[in-house]
A and B are shown apart, each in its own frame.
Chain A
Amino acid sequence: MAVRYESDPGAPRGPVMARLHELAARARALWLLRSATLGRGVRATGWLSVLNRGELRIGRGVTFLGGMIPTRLSVRPGAQADIGEESLFNYGSVIDVATRLVIGKRCMLGSMVHLRCGGRGLVLGDDVWIAHSAVVESGVTIGAGSVVAAGCIVTKDVPPGSLAAGVPARFLSLELLDVRERSPRRSPPGSGLDLA
């Protein structure tokens, strides 16, 4: 099930306005991503800069959020980019595909994320969350269910179910965060290590 990001969750939008926004977002995506192969229900709520000289396939239900800086998506000649279903992209991201990019289903890319898919390509598993301003270097595979913390620079493969944080990235299994919660010296609530 897609995570629907509302810019103002408390805002009561009437059903008519919500429907109009949805249709506008879908139309915008059909126009901005006209050079790509799109699945059903791809939405773009803001400006998106797309340069597709290779193959760009976008799964159904993918959402590109707008913001003060447009996302730049470019696929070089001979390159392939596959974006999985129900993924979410925030503003300001720079995604430059030189050979191969695979993004899994239900991935969430934060704002200003750089995916540097150079000569060795890039693979993101399903349910990966990349936080604001992270940089993922070429040749990296990010395992399913992992979280890349804000500002992190990932240079090595991230195991599934891990939290990658810091420069360069250090990994911590998300399972271990249970233990932290029970210890007397807890992380402050709402810090990057908080649970649901």
Chain B
Amino acid sequence: MSTLVSLWSRAKLLRCQRVGAGTVVWGRAWIHGRGTVLLGQGVVLDGRLAPIELHASEAAVIEIGDGTIVRGGCSVEATARVSIGRGSILGAYVKVIDNQFYPLRGERKVRPAPVEVRIEDNVVIGPHVILLPGSRVEAGAQIGAHSVISRRVPAGTCVVGNPPRCVGEVSGWP
């Protein structure tokens, strides 16, 4: 049975350049774009609630570390690099972008430069969080639901809100 599950998952992950052992897809995953998608071992793409989108443009890389769980409705769009660490959890409908696609002022056809987004190990990101270009969520941090992150979140902190505020530290975090 688990062989059938893994074969079915593999079929959905054909567009990935690397898929680790034990990676599964539940529901629907939409992986498109000419870039590179690298999945570690034991990654769970839980697209049962809504499809998960991994869009890596030309010369972009999306990397998801071992044991990470990505919940339904997540959308990761990379034009340069988005890396997600090990053992992290991305809640439902999280949006991760490394390019804001249009400038705030000036000619709207000129795409701004991308800035890498890094999510490190053991991070818990709540549902409906938006990670803007240049975000960096350090290890062990937890981000509350509906937050909008555009800068660095220090390791082991709990960050909530829009604009985001640090509301505490993760208990037991060294």
Q: Which A residues have a C-beta under 8 Å from some C-beta of B?
A: 1, 3, 5, 7-11, 67-69, 108, 111-112, 129, 131-133, 147, 149-152, 163, 165-167, 174, 177, 188-196
Contacts and interface: CB of A to CB of B under 8 A. Distances in A.
The majority secondary structure among interface residues of chain A is loop
A147 B70 CA distance: 30
Contact of A151 (B115, B133, B148): B148
A159 to B, nearest CB: 15
Contacts of A68: 28, 30, 50-53, 73, 75
Contacts of B134: 188-191
A131 B133 CA distance: 13
Contacts of A192: 100, 104, 132, 150
Interface in B12-32: 28, 30, 32
A194 B32 contact: no
A8 B150 contact: no
Contacts, number: 115
Interface stretch (B37-45, B106-114, B166-174): B106-114
Nearest to B56: A8
Nearest to A68: B51
A25 B148 CA distance: 33
Given A151-B162, A177-B105, 20 more contacts: A3-B108, A5-B101, A8-B34, A8-B57, A8-B58, A10-B59, A69-B50, A129-B108, A149-B148, A150-B132, A151-B148, A167-B161, A188-B151, A190-B134, A191-B150, A192-B150, A194-B103, A196-B103, A196-B105, A196-B107
A124 B98 CA distance: 27
A195 B151 contact: no
The majority secondary structure among interface residues of chain B is loop
Contacts of B162: 151-152, 165-167
A151 B102 contact: no
B151 A191 contact: yes
B130 A150 contact: yes
A9 B57 contact: yes
A133 to B, nearest CB: 6
Contacts of A166: 162-163
A196 B101 CA distance: 10
B116 to A, nearest CB: 9
Which 7 pairs from chain A and chain B are nearest by CB? A190-B115, A10-B58, A196-B106, A196-B103, A190-B133, A151-B148, A68-B51
